[in-house]
Amino acid sequence: MARLPRWVSQHLAALRALLVLTAVTGILYPLAVLAVAQLPGLDHKAEGSLVYDEDGAVVGSSLLGQSFTDEDGNAIAAYFQSRPSMAAGENGDYDPLVSGASNLGPESVVDALPDPALGWDGDELATKSLLTQVCERSYAIGEREGVDGSRPYCTESGAGAVGAVLGVFYAEGTTGDVVRVVSLNEACDAVAAPFLAEYEGVPVECAVYGEDYAAAIVTPVEGDASGEPAVPADAVTASGSGLDPHISPEYAELQTARVAAERGASTEDVEALVEEHTTGRFLGFMGDPAVNVVELNLALDSVFPAGDEAGPVG
Amino acid sequence: MGDTTAGVIFIAAMVAALAATYRPLGDYLYRVVTRERHYKVERGIYRVIGARPETEQHWAGYARSVLAFSAVSVLLLYGLQRLQHFLPLSLGFPGVDPYVSWNTAVSFVANTNWQAYSGESTMGHLVQTGGLAVQNFVSAAVGMAVAVVLVRGFARKATDRLGNFWVDLVRITVWVLLPIAAVGAVVLVLGGAIQNFGEVTQAVTATGDTQSITGGAVASQEAIKELGTNGGGFFNANSAHPFENPTSWTNFVEVYLILMIPVALPRTFGRIVGDDRQGYAIIAVMGVLALASITAVLGFESLGNGTVPQAVTAAMEGKEVRFGVEDSSLFAAATTLTSTGAVNSFHDSFTSFGGGVLMLNMMFGEVAPGGVGGGLYGMLVLAVIAVFVAGLMVGRTPEYLGKKIGAREIKLASMYFLVTPVLVLVGVATAFLLPSNMDSLQEAGPHGLSELLYAFTSASNNNGSAFGGFGANTPWFNTALGLCMLFGRFIPIILVLALAGSLARQRPVPASAGTLPTHRPLFVGMVVGVTLVLVALTFLPVLALGPLAEGLQ
């Protein structure tokens, strides 16, 4: 047999090496781990920490968050609410088929306003900035839980809330006198008047769809809201996975009274249940204290079944 | 306990854990790569490969083997993805698009694990486990093998023989990566990471909704993904996904897995060159840079500057409650200081300065402690440059570990250093030439530039993390970033092997009164200084336009 050219034999050796190592690391290794994972105590976890109802049907995983909302996305008052989720798939939020985050940056503060003829739902190019999303969530949760939903850089506006952001035009571009001020996130058709009447002595205009404000300096307005808002941070931000099963103990505490009232249970009893499903920092320093919403709500359903009248809030 | 205190204790505990394994793991690695005898099972593998384990290669032969192995790997992985729908365990997914297949194949072979796709909706079990996870092992082993060759270059005298690639590859994969990954995987299952080959389970939730619960061999892939500083997530959400990283303590384990081999390799280096103190000096340089960077990320994220974090009152967007801001920041620092690129929180939503430090970590060339192998050889190249600079100051021929750093050596080291800046800066500039590329930027202004800069920095340095808002899945970016990953991995490897060859040929010069001792704090400070100056001079202008401009608004 004629000897193969050197470069061919070298690549054949490489191919054989890859196939051998594929057998070891791509087949034997995962199967070995799979075999160990069948041990009692591990098997449940390896399968995804699935939770079953009394009929043996899967109702979820204690590791994957769920949304506790009705078909229209409104919070169901008898349940503790999860964090906002960016994993929105065919079955709504918290869809494990599309895990992910908003990926919006710390200075995502200006909305791309919708064409008034189409509205937010109809205009595909319209997007809400992260700031406006945070403000909307904060005011909505404040209303739901009966607390002040205000926070810095947010303002109530029209029917909801937006990021309080001005576009300021200066006489010489970035310096000089203020010549014109626009409230960038408040479209003229959505608000009666901007959140601020005047800025540096100049009257504030509402924003007109299609007008180019690129030359304006984006200026968020902090406002006089408390630096320690009643609605906690995790309640107004989306997680990285979109599947976060946890909320902070502060957010759980905020919701306890409502859930207890809705289920006809005492606040103390619900608090005790929350406590039961709270994990502290591991060894006292790893991670943050967290309440598992999925497990908590399932426990609530079995201990304090909600009446049929339980409906959406507000 | 305050949040920041908890974060500081996390760092202290991590340092203690890494210090505990520095010597045993480094010594074990030393024995694996220097053992004379070949085990029977190894001989069996060499027979199948057709390799002669007794024959050592010169640097060019070694390089040819590395390139042949990597080329075959790219082709096979490309084929596996393209033909996925004809193969078993595809979960019904179609064959992967050619641009994504090319990008992903290069990405995993180059130890980058940049992902232009979303795992749970693109890749079936066979591609994940039999293709991607295999590259997690072997691309890591290739990096470690190249690092060992460079160290042999320093240690050996008057020879052109530097070891046998197939021996190094097999030994590192089978005796180092495989056992540690297996233990790590079982530990992760204990925490709740999944390990099955099931299809999607449909759950009907308490509110009557349906939830599709995914399956997969996640724990086994997660362990090697961290251990081999690869970083490619089984799921789109990577290590933020509760099935990949279920608890706050699995998070600690994963950060430890990321750092353990890169931190132990300087010990192996010290053993091979026969002077443990040289290893301590190198780990000291890595430690100084790493601690400074970790402190900075933790500080910036805890302070939470910026309009949205101030409105929220914490930099909590894109972060999980179970990890909190602190442990998310520490994971982010670890993943960018090494070439891992796994994420447990989304870097795009980090504060401007926090995200800027993550970019800077990668711009250092990922040397503190860097990827498995890549970190050590990158740091040794910087040490060579530092020795050269010191030699210029006192007007003596520079030498490191008894080897003269002459014209050839310093040319190779300089070219090594220049590869990634060229790829990053030329890449970013070229991207701007095509107006349609601007559609990939999720945000306007400085943050948009940061997204683009992060993408090219991550690809060229073989990190693989991203500012996720960036729309990388276009033919142009899949091709361009794929080329950056390819060149960013293999040009430096060839230069390092050439450097090893030229060092090994020399006879060592005896140390004299004029020799700069390379195990003292003075030398550690020199290397840190040279690294900071070189990287700052290269990247400060573009950083000023991106994260700095955004943060100073």
Per residue in B500-525, pLDDT (tens digit) is 999 999 999 888 887 889 999 999 99
Percent of chain A with pLDDT over 70: 97
Helix, coil or strand: residue A55: coil
Interface pTM, i.e. ipTM: 0.94
pLDDT at A150: 96
Q: Beta partners for B201?
A: B213
Q: Which of B427, B409, B401 is nearest to B498 (CA)?
A: B409
CB B213 within 8 A of CB B327: no
Closest by Cβ to B220, choosing from A33, A63, A94? A33
Closest by Cβ to B241, choosing from A22, A59, A243? A243
Residues of A in contact with B446 (CB under 8 A): 107
Residues of B in contact with A67 (CB under 8 A): 207, 209
Closest by Cβ to B213, choosing from A34, A50, A281? A50
Q: Which of residues 193-222 of A touch B (CB under 8 A)?
A: 218, 220, 222
Name the strand (E) or helix (H) holding A181.
strand A175-187
- Amino acid at site B252: F
Closest by Cβ to A103, choosing from B315, B322, B348? B348
- Amino acid at site A172: E
CB contact under 8 A, B327 and A288: yes
Residues of A in contact with B201 (CB under 8 A): 48, 50, 58
Q: Which of B349, B352, B235 is nearest to B296 (CA)?
A: B352
pLDDT in tens, B9-19: 999 999 999 99
Q: Which two tokens stand for residue B95?
A: 């064959």
Percent of chain A with pLDDT over 90: 85
Q: Which two tokens stand for residue A270?
A: 């619900």
pLDDT tier, A246 (very low <50, low <70, confident <90, very high otherwise): very high
Name the strand (E) or helix (H) holding B22.
helix B3-34
pLDDT at A307: 63
CA angle B129, B132, B136 (to 5 degrees): 105
Closest by Cβ to A26, choosing from B133, B204, B212? B133
CB contact under 8 A, B237 and A241: yes
pLDDT in tens, A42-73: 999 999 999 999 899 999 999 999 999 998 88
Rounded Cα distance between A108 and A135, Å, is 13
- Tell me which of A42, A86, A237 to substitute to probe the interface with B (most B C-beta atoms closer than 10 Å): A237
Residues of B in contact with A249 (CB under 8 A): none
CB contact under 8 A, A101 and B219: no
What is the average pLDDT across A108-128?
93
For A119, residues 6+ apart whose C-beta sits below 8 A from its C-beta are: none
pLDDT at A249: 97
pLDDT in tens, A190-219: 999 999 999 999 999 999 999 999 999 999
pLDDT tier, B527 (very low <50, low <70, confident <90, very high otherwise): very high
Compute φ and ψ for B399, nearest 5 degrees.
-140, 150
Rounded Cα distance between B216 and B240, Å, is 16
Cα Rg of chain A (Å, integer) = 27
Q: Which of B227, B233, B253, B50 is nearest to B144 (CA)?
A: B227
Asked whether the predicted pLDDT for residue A310 surpasses 80, the reply is: no
Sign of the C-alpha dihedral computed for residues B412, B292, B340 and B252 taken in this order? positive
CB B225 within 8 A of CB A63: no
- Smallest CA–CA separation between A262 and chain B, in Å? 15
Closest by Cβ to B307, choosing from A64, A109, A240? A109
Sign of the C-alpha dihedral computed for residues A258, A261, A265 and A269 taken in this order? positive
pLDDT in tens, B356-388: 999 999 999 999 999 999 999 999 999 999 999
CB contact under 8 A, A233 and B445: no
Neighbours of B104 (CB within 10 A): 32
Q: Which two tokens stand for residue B193?
A: 């990471």
Chain A residue with minimum CA distance to B214: A96
CB B159 within 8 A of CB B502: no
Residues of B in contact with A97 (CB under 8 A): 120-121, 200, 212, 214
CB contact under 8 A, A100 and B468: yes
Neighbours of B157 (CB within 10 A): 12
Asked whether the predicted pLDDT for residue A313 surpasses 60, the reply is: no
For B92, residues 6+ apart whose C-beta sits below 8 A from its C-beta are: B124
Rounded Cα distance between B510 and B401, Å, is 10
- Tell me which of B312, B344, B350, B440 to substitute to probe the interface with A (most A C-beta atoms closer than 10 Å): B312
Q: Beta partners for B203?
A: B211
pTM: 0.95
Rounded Cα distance between B413 and B126, Å, is 40
CB contact under 8 A, A290 and B321: yes
- Smallest CA–CA separation between A219 and chain B, in Å? 9
Compute φ and ψ for A170, nearest 5 degrees.
-110, 155
pLDDT at B214: 94
pLDDT at A311: 47
Closest by Cβ to B308, choosing from A45, A108, A301? A108
pLDDT at A21: 96
Print burial letters for B333-363: b (CB count within 10 Å at least 16), e (below 16): bbbbbbbbbbbbbbbbbbbbbbbbbbbbbbb
Does any CB of chain B come closer than 8 Å to the CB of residue A154?
yes
Rounded Cα distance between A208 and A210, Å, is 6
Q: Which two tokens stand for residue A164?
A: 């309080």
What is the average pLDDT across B233-238?
93
Print burial letters for A16-35: b (CB count within 10 Å at least 16), e (below 16): bbbbbbbebbbeebbeebbe
CB B354 within 8 A of CB A111: no
Distances from the Cα of B146 to the Cαs of B177, B378, B488, in angstroms?
A: 16, 11, 15
pLDDT tier, A309 (very low <50, low <70, confident <90, very high otherwise): very low
- Amino acid at site B11: I
Pairing of strands A175-187, A202-207: parallel
